[in-house]
Chain A
């Protein structure tokens, strides 16, 4: 909804993602804030920011698969692993440039998604969820078995990524800027997929796949495309994570991480692009709050030992998602829209 007095006179105005001057100012201000954050944020927040960026890209993939096309996936972490291992293996073994493996990582993950997405034509709902859980376990098991992928030890000592001759290392401002750029690009791509024919087809399939088929949408192709794009995003996220850590191992891509991604799109709001990013930020804030809260709890109950931190993080995550499901089923994005609407209409209620 546009503010009062703003009219779309040309098609370009109607299509614009960022429509008003105020939105441009907010966007520029936000970007400047995020970019300069790299200069003064302390080291552990820098790590956190980069991780949020990685997870946000993977969550955007989940958003396209689940939020737009309605194909639930509980295997996103495994598809991330495919992307991460592609770049790690090609980079350490054959010395392929990371920038060449960027599309390759996405492709490999996307192809993995296609393979496990094939059952999606005939099954849906619970059955599809369980098929994607199977994908998670089978892929990670496969990686763990292969000695050329380093087994449980993983692949270590990847080269630093270089941009125009400049080495970008682990948790530096440069890496954060690269992450930020990739998040913005992927966000832009996701937003535009949503507005094209493909995105409309996804939404039609999500809302009622039988009706969509009757309307002439090729169900098989659309569902597989959703899986491919969603897993492509996961592969890109895996690429970024691998280059951030400069090492990959199977434990990183756990089943639990896949569930976190699902939690992120629920907290952010199912079916909204910016909601996916907001969900990733919110859940990661909870994750960040876990250790400090566990210190308090540990002082209060000295009989509890080392396990407090992992237990509390789980409980916090569960409580936040349950809260969202019960109180805010449409997610943070919807709440933000309501707040914006309130101020736009103020002092009237409608």
Chain B
């Protein structure tokens, strides 16, 4: 039982990491980036390709994949999202969804239905105190916590973070304050791309690199995101841990329920608190 709880807790950290990738873009540009899942998947496939086919050492591969992710993020922003700046939200949502289809299509064309285990995945089990944990999950949890603190600091104390928040609140106000909205957009998408690369490394380690990886990332990230609230960084961590624990307990007692537990928890929370646990309620005027 302790093992189940510990594993759920740590996997919750991974989910939080995934959700943070969505929040980063949403908080700074007001776009729900549905392409995040497939971006993670394609970057992890490419990482595997670099490590095994080109024979690069693991550290070099990881160092290379992060700027590549940033480049991918900027490309998506410049080519797909920026032309839709003033369009209604369905258009932008649909655009990110189509980018996700595009990435998935490219991945299917190149790698098909192959699945891999990243070569640097640690094996066996670690005993931490009374419980046994899977090492990949533990590493990811630590990384998620580190990223969480960094993001909090970014949004609270740096000028870039502050301008991102202003841009998300209102493009026009931001522009009149002298913030370069387009620059802020590019930065936030580059960050999110780099984030996707990091998720690719860590999630690839936890769940292995499979064709359904993209939809897994999306399917776990979205409930966490909603549970915590779309623009709350602490919310993602709390939501991730709640979903991780709920999923672990749910599959412990009723093994078939693993894939829907996050969605059911999310629906229940939505009915009680429509803006998530920590989301800020927007007051609307006519």
Contact = CB atoms under 8 A, between A and B. Distances in A.
A196 B259 CA distance: 42
B172 to A, nearest CB: 19
Contacts of A141: 259-260
Interface residues of B, number: 46
Contact of B91 (A66, A311, A325): A325
A307 B101 contact: no
Given A127-B270, A127-B275, A134-B263, A145 B87 contact: no
Name the residue in A127, A306, A308, A312 with the highest tally of chain B Cβ atoms < 10 Å from its Cβ: A127
A131 interface: yes
A145 B256 contact: yes
A53 B32 CA distance: 32
A311 B105 contact: yes
Interface in A313-330: 313-315, 317-319, 321-322, 325-326, 329
A66 B89 CA distance: 13
A313 B97 CA distance: 15
Contact of B109 (A127, A315, A319): A315
B284 A126 contact: no
Interface residues of A, number: 47
Interface stretch (A91-99, A161-169, A207-215, A220-228): A207-215
Interface string B47-63: 00000000000000000
B119 interface: no
Interface in B69-102: 80, 83-84, 87, 89-91, 93-95, 97-99, 101-102
Given A119-B274, A126-B32, A130-B226, A321 B94 contact: yes
A325 B81 CA distance: 10
B101 A318 contact: yes
Interface string A245-280: 000000000010001001100100010000000000
Interface in B262-279: 263-264, 266-267, 270-271, 274-276
16 contacts: A119-B267, A119-B274, A129-B93, A137-B219, A138-B263, A138-B267, A141-B259, A210-B286, A307-B113, A308-B109, A314-B104, A315-B105, A315-B109, A318-B99, A325-B98, A326-B83
- Nearest 3 pairs between A and B by C-beta? A311-B108, A315-B105, A314-B105
Given A315-B101, A322-B98, 8 more contacts: A127-B226, A127-B276, A255-B215, A262-B94, A270-B90, A311-B106, A318-B98, A318-B99
Interface of B: 32, 80, 83-84, 87, 89-91, 93-95, 97-99, 101-102, 104-109, 112-113, 215, 219, 222-223, 225-226, 230, 256, 259-260, 263-264, 266-267, 270-271, 274-276, 284-286
